Amino acid sequence: MDFLTFMSVFLLLISTSCYGLSENHHGDEEGGLLVVAPAKQQKEFDYFLLALLWPGTLCQGTNHCCSANACCRSNATSMFTIHGLWVNYNDGTWPACCNNGSNFDIKKITPLLGGLQIYWPSLSCNLESTCDGGKGLFWAHEWEKHGTCATPVIWDEYTYFLTTLNIYFKYNITKILIEEGYIPSNSEKYPLGGIVSAIQNAVRATPLLVCSDGAVQELRLCFCKNFEPQDCPNNVTPEEACPRYVSLPEYVPRITGIN
């Protein structure tokens, strides 16, 4: 089956309710620790959230380099990269680590690795927490913490990564912003409302932006279970909220030696 056929069948098979009722259930972190409920107690999620990272902001915090850290690449372009495809509840919480038996296995996504390295890179040298209390790749963290909770829409690791790449390509946020004049810059500031409107016009749904010191750090797009865009609930913390004028810093390669 070619890829387009696969995606068409896949999208037809999944449930389509955007606003279906769902009992809320508690998610996630308390004092940095994952609070993991047994899989059978997890309630089905309400919507998907594609979280994108802006390397121009995040890479400013790079203080040492390694080959895994895309902030250290000399040829990194100024584009949003993928943080993860998350599954959330409408009340602002989310399930996490829904299937400890489904540990990340890189072999299952071998055909996708080329794309993942470019579009879903780690922006840090640190290993990330896995659901069994260990440390692993950024991809392992995202699959185990978020992907395993995406049932009954997504059941397996390969589909999780493939689906995420496809949504990312379908809604090319970097291109949308550049076409509207929001060019990465280390001197300009842009009205937050203008950025939000540009995305609303292109995607037909309201995104959510997360800032750090007035710079865009993350951009989130929300989707119904059939992957139609829906408005994102405005549930960022005050520390993450963006001011009325934001910067979109240019990516500055930080080649301090790969070690």
Give the binding site for ligand U2P (CB under 6 A): 49, 84, 86, 88, 94, 145
Q: Out of 44, 141, 142, 157, which one is annotated catalytic?
A: 142
Tell me whether residue 23 is one of the annotated catalytic residues. no
Q: Which helix (H) or strand (E) holds 1?
A: none
Shortest spacing between CB 32 and ligand U2P, in angstroms:
10
From the list 126, 141, 139, 135, the residue with the least C-alpha distance to 69 is 126
Report yes or no: 57 and 215 within 8 Å, Cβ to Cβ: yes
Tell me whether residue 83 is one of the annotated catalytic residues. yes
- Own/partner contacts of 25-30, CB < 8 Å, gap of 24 or more, are 25/89, 25/93, 25/95, 26/93, 27/89, 27/93, 27/94, 27/95, 27/96, 28/93, 28/94, 28/95, 28/96, 29/96
Choose between 49 and 154: whose C-beta lies nearer to ligand U2P: 49
Q: Out of 44, 83, 141, 218, which one is annotated catalytic?
A: 83
Tell me whether residue 146 is one of the annotated catalytic residues. yes
Shortest spacing between CB 84 and ligand U2P, in angstroms:
5
Q: Out of 144, 146, 157, 218, which one is annotated catalytic?
A: 146
Shortest spacing between CB 164 and ligand U2P, in angstroms:
12
Choose between 52 and 162: whose C-beta lies nearer to ligand U2P: 52
Shortest spacing between CB 257 and ligand U2P, in angstroms:
27
> Could you give the C-alpha distances from 178 to 8, 27, 77, 79, 185, in angstroms and in order?
30, 35, 13, 10, 11
Q: Cα separation of 151 and 132, whole Å?
A: 19
Choose between 192 and 232: whose C-beta lies nearer to ligand U2P: 232
The catalytic site residues sit at 83, 142, 146
